[in-house]
Amino acid sequence: MVSERIKDLREKLNYTQSELARQLGITRSSVNAWELGISVPSTRYIVELASIFHVSTDYLLGVDHTASVSVEGLTEKDVQMVYELINHLKSMH
**Per-residue pLDDT tens listing for the chain (93 residues):** 899 999 999 999 999 999 999 999 999 999 999 999 999 999 999 999 999 999 989 999 988 776 678 889 999 999 999 989 988 998 987
User: Angle at the Cα of 17 (from 5 to 66), degrees rounded to 5?
Assistant: 20
Q: Tell me, yes or no, whether 31 lies in a domain.
A: yes
pTM, entire model: 0.69
Calpha distance 27→59 (Å, rounded): 24
Q: What is the pLDDT of residue 66?
A: 66
Q: Tell me, yes or no, whether 47 lies in a domain.
A: yes
Looking up residue 44, the CATH number of its domain turns out to be 1.10.260.40
Q: Tell me, yes or no, whether 29 lies in a domain.
A: yes
- Single-letter residue type at 1: M
Calpha distance 49→58 (Å, rounded): 12
Residue 46's nearest CA partner among 6, 19, 4 is 6
Q: Tell me, yes or no, whether 85 lies in a domain.
A: no
Domain count across the chain: 1
- Boundaries of domain holding 19: 2-60
Q: Which helix (H) or strand (E) holds 23?
A: helix 17-24
Q: Tell me, yes or no, whether 52 lies in a domain.
A: yes
Q: What is the pLDDT of residue 4?
A: 95
